Structure 1
Amino acid sequence: MTRTQKTVFILVAIVALIMGLTVNKVLSGKGQGDPTALIDAGIILLPQSRQLPPVTMTNQNGQPVVVNELKGKWSLLFFGYTFCPDICPTTLAQLRQIKSELPKEAVDKLQVILVSVDPNRDTPAQLKQYLGYFDPQFEGLTGASVDDVQKVSNAVSIPFIPADTSKPNYTVDHSGNLALIGPDGTQRGFIRAPLNNQKLVAQLPGLLQRK
């Protein structure tokens, strides 16, 4: 990756974060719960939900999943990949720990989904094996192409830079932020990286009660 690409990536991530922080100020007088406590936990809510694109991906069981039909539960979308050396295993381990400390009624309303930014290597079988190391109930999605994944990541403002797959042992530059998807299938906000386990365990149960 060139210096220019890195600069663009960083700027896009910063702009997305600033937008999130700005719009959450609009929410300060609205909604349920304590907005300050949510922000302190890294949870940035949008003033208006966003529609997800109707992109069809494949889950870890080889079944088709249409992204804008992720409904019925709150979903945490994490854009990563199974060959990731650092951010992904750390984040997934944290999400496993957070889930283990949430009350059962909150866990029943939540699903964690790894959206692969490396569809070239991340087959459904690879995703299933990898996620099994953390939590067999974690979901995985892989696309037919990088373009499909970018349509989803761009829609939720969590960017990544496609890798040069011709290089051996290549890595993919991506964000550690999570997209927060409501039970209606729309994006409700973000959870900023790095995750704060203790604060998220305190704030997520109240958030997950929302419709």
Structure 2
Amino acid sequence: MTRTQKTILILFALTALILGLTVTKALNGRGEADSAGLTEAGIILLAQSRSVPAVSMTDQNGQPVQLDQLKGKWSLLFFGYTYCPDICPTTLAQLRQVKSELSKGTLDHLEVVLVSVDPARDTPQQLKQYLAYFDKDFVGLAGSIEDTQTLAHALSIPFIPADTRKPGYTVDHSGNLAIVGPDGRQRGFIRAPFDTQKLVAQLPKLVKRD
């Protein structure tokens, strides 16, 4: 191989290296930008997904549901209750607004689930009637208080069970949402309070991750 040929090969190698580094930097930058956009919208993804406990609940149609079988869609789990005076109706109204501005393609891969922290009062009929005020496609679930606590603690969205002997009792709970991926594993959280416009912009990117 002549000196000229060696020089040309070295130049090709250097060019390929520089091009590779440039593409890698661009892709990394794009990934960082996407992550930053999700974070600005309050969407926090876990470094490692978590399993969801196999607790049994009943939906608003009276059908049994195994929480570890919550698969096929990206599910946004909100722990609340139908007699809630403030956080719950506000949150559900915001999620209804977000849904109204998302494309059908995104909505086909997304669902909102209300997990009741007040199973003593939230019967299937009560859940169905309440959720109908917001969105007919919202899912309502209720189980035993023990199973509900197990699920809430596993998803790091705890609540304080109320003394149901007191009339007109309220339940202290978080306004955050748990994100469960289409594989049935927890992928992260959405922090309250919500910026609906940022969620509208970022949720389509979330559901495209798998």
Equivalent position of 1:93 in the other structure? 93
Displacement of 1:37: 1.1
Q: Structure 1 residue 35: deviation in Å? A: 1.1
- Taking only the aligned residue pairs, the percentage that are identical comes to 70
Partner of 1:24: none
Superposed displacement of residue 210, structure 1: 1.6
Residues 6-42 of structure 1: CA deviation (Å, up to 9, x unaligned) = xxxxxxxxxxxxxxxxxxxxxx989686111111100
Equivalent in the alignment of 2:198:
199
The equivalent of 1:146 in structure 2 is: 145
Separation in 1, partners of 2:194, 2:104: 21
Moved runs in structure 1, 4+ residues, more than 4 A? 28-33
> Hey, what's the Cα distance between the residues in 2 that align with 1:37 and 1:189?
15
Asked if the contact 1:33–1:206 (Cα under 8 Å) also holds between the matched residues in 2, the reply is no
Which residue in 1 is equivalent to 2:157?
158
Partner of 1:104: 104
Q: CA deviation at 1:73?
A: 0.4
Are residues 166 and 106 of structure 1, via their aligned partners in 2, closer, same or farther at CA, if it must alter by over 3 Å? same
Q: Is the 8 A contact 1:79 1:116 kept in 2?
A: yes
What residue is the counterpart of 1:21 in the other structure? none
Change (3 A) 1:33 1:53: farther
Aligned to 2:84: 84
Partners of 1:40 and 1:159 lie apart in 2 by: 24
Find the aligned partners of 1:103 and 1:83 in 2 and give their Cα distance.
31
What is the RMSD of the two structures over their aligned residues, measured on CA atoms?
1.5
Query: Which sections of structure 2, spanning at least 5 residues, go unmatched?
Result: 1-27
Local SS of the residue matching 2:85: coil
Q: Report Cα offsets for 1:97-138 as digits up to 9, x if no partner.
A: 000001110011001000000000000000000000000110
Instruction: Determine helix, strand or coil for the equivalent of 1:58.
Output: strand
Equivalent residue, structure 2, for 1:129: 129
Computing the radius of gyration from Cα coordinates, the structure with the larger value is 2
Where do 5+ consecutive residues of structure 1 fail to align? 1-27
Q: What's the secondary structure of 1:45's corresponding residue?
A: strand
1:35 aligns with 2:35: yes
> Would you say the 8 A contact 1:52–1:152 is kept in 2?
yes
Looking at structure 2, the residues matched to 48 and 106 of structure 1 have their Cα atoms a distance apart, in angstroms, of 24
- Measured against aligned partners, the alpha-carbon deviations of 1:30-81 in whole angstroms (never above 9, x if no partner) come to 9686111111100000000000000010000000000010000000000000
Report the residue type matching 2:73 in the other structure. Answer: K
Letter in 1 for 2:164: T
Aligned pairs, how many?
Answer: 183
TM-score of the pair, normalised by structure 1: 0.84
Q: In 1, Cα distance between the equivalents of 2:29 and 2:159?
A: 33
Normalised TM-score (structure 2)? 0.85
Partner of 1:7: none
**Separation in structure 1 between the aligned mates of residue 190 and residue 196 of structure 2, nearest angstrom:** 12
